[in-house]
Amino acid sequence: MSKRVIMAAGNWKMNKTPSEAVEFVNSLKDRVAGSTAEVVVGVPFVCIPGVIEAVKGSNIKVAAQNVHWEPNGAYTGEVSCKMLKDLGVDYVIIGHSERREYFAETNEMINKKARAILDAGMTPIICCGESLTQREQGVTAEHVRYQIKVALLGLSAEEVSRIVIAYEPIWAIGTGKTATTEQAEEVCGIIRELLVELYGKDTAEKTRILYGGSVKADNAKELFAMPNIDGGLVGGASLKLDEFEKIVKHDA
């Protein structure tokens, strides 16, 4: 079976104003037109309307960086799936280690978010990954398997075949310290094995698994060529036009 469509997904985090965001994607869309990789920009909520408008007719898709699982109600400061869907959002990044650490997101919350995102007709990009301590303790596989197993509870095989999983070792995020290609491939392979166990080989072959953590123009090609790595979730380098363009065109 041929490899899955590679995804280059930017995670802007809390960066760029709405006007800076529009200016950025207006340049980006010409640079990445016709790319073989699927291009996604994960932008702050307030940037979404302008960015969606700007990327119309291009091959760039838009991701949100969070969502609440309830359809509506008294949740001050929160945003629902229906609101995002109404704007034209395709993907929602959930379970990022920064959200787990600073906003106390649990695997159970991530599971509820995944359910709500799929019900709304969007696709979750579910993040997982171990800390440096966990890697040193030798519990990376157990930790990541546990995170993903709980995040996917109750999802059907068909749904799992459409979601995106991002393996992001915490020690490699924003540190400039990329996991080696072998380390990244090993854990992405462990995740795919888990999907085989839970949903069967056909499903596991369809699910895209990204690597994230200091992905840059000069390491994307090698990482994305690994059998179990289907692209990258890119933080810092996705804020720079030249870098992100090169990551998208890693195979050129």
- Measured from the CB atom, is 50 or 232 closer to ligand PGA? 232
Q: Which among 38, 105, 159, 168 is annotated as catalytic? A: 168
Name the residue whose CB lies closest to ligand PGA. 235
Q: Which amino acid is at 219?
A: N
Minimum CB distance to ligand PGA, residue 244 (Å)? 11
SS3 164: strand
Phi, psi of 187 (to 5 degrees): -75, -35
Minimum CB distance to ligand PGA, residue 212 (Å)? 4
Q: Which among 38, 68, 96, 130 is annotated as catalytic? A: 96
What are the beta bridge partners of residue 167?
128, 211
Catalytic annotation on 250?
Answer: no
Tell me if 170 sits within 8 A of 135, measured CB to CB: no
Minimum CB distance to ligand PGA, residue 48 (Å)? 18
CA contacts within 13 A on the Cβ side of 54: 21
Residue 77: partners with Cβ closer than 8 Å, 6 or more residues away: none
Residue 156: partners with Cβ closer than 8 Å, 6 or more residues away: none
- Name the site residues for ligand PGA (rule: CB under 6 A): 11, 168, 173-174, 212-215, 233-237
- Measured from the CB atom, is 199 or 230 closer to ligand PGA? 230
- Measured from the CB atom, is 71 or 174 closer to ligand PGA? 174
User: How far apart are the C-alpha atoms of 196 and 213, rounded to whole Å?
Assistant: 25
Minimum CB distance to ligand PGA, residue 210 (Å)? 9
Catalytic annotation on 53?
Answer: no
- Residue appearing with tokens 């700007």: 54
Minimum CB distance to ligand PGA, residue 64 (Å)? 14
User: How far apart are the C-alpha atoms of 8 and 62, rounded to whole Å?
Assistant: 12
User: How far apart are the C-alpha atoms of 45 and 217, rounded to whole Å?
Assistant: 26
Tell me if 67 sits within 8 A of 84, measured CB to CB: yes
**What residues are labeled active site?**
96, 168
